Amino acid sequence: MDLHPPGGPVRSVKDFFVHIGVVTLGILIALGLEQLVEAHHRANLAKIAVAGFRKELAYNEDEVKYVLTRLPELQGKIERSISTLSAAPIPPEAQRIDYPGFSLDIVSTASWDTAIATQALNELPFDAVAHYAQAYGALRLFVEIEREGLTVWQGVHRFGTDPAALTQDQRSMLIQELRHYSNVLTVIDFAGHGALKSCDDALTTPK
- Domain annotation covers residue 47: no
Confidence grade of residue 71 (pLDDT, cut at 50, 70, 90): very high
Residue 104's closest CA among 62, 57, 56, 63? 63
Residue 182's closest CA among 72, 98, 65, 103? 72
pTM as predicted? 0.74
Farthest-apart Cα atoms in the chain, separation: 115
**Phi and psi torsions of 100, nearest 5°:** -70, 150
- Domain annotation covers residue 100: yes
Look at the chain and report how many structural domains it folds into.
1
Which residues have CB under 8 Å from 136's CB, separation 6+? 109, 112
The answer to whether the CB of 74 falls within 8 A of the CB of 152 is no
- Domain annotation covers residue 39: no
The answer to whether the CB of 182 falls within 8 A of the CB of 136 is no
CB atoms closer than 10 angstroms to residue 158: 10
Confidence grade of residue 64 (pLDDT, cut at 50, 70, 90): very high
Provide the residue range defining the domain that includes 151: 53-203
* pLDDT tens readout for residues 5-48: 555 555 666 665 666 766 676 676 656 655 655 655 566 788 88
- Domain annotation covers residue 87: yes
Residue 128's closest CA among 183, 68, 49? 49
- Domain annotation covers residue 85: yes
- Domain annotation covers residue 86: yes
CA separation (Å) from 3 to 9, 19, 25? 9, 14, 21
- Domain annotation covers residue 9: no
The answer to whether the CB of 194 falls within 8 A of the CB of 66 is no
Q: SS3 of 105, please?
A: coil
Q: Which helix (H) or strand (E) holds 193?
A: helix 168-203
- Domain annotation covers residue 22: no
Confidence grade of residue 1 (pLDDT, cut at 50, 70, 90): very low
* pLDDT tens readout for residues 83-108: 888 876 666 666 777 778 777 777 88
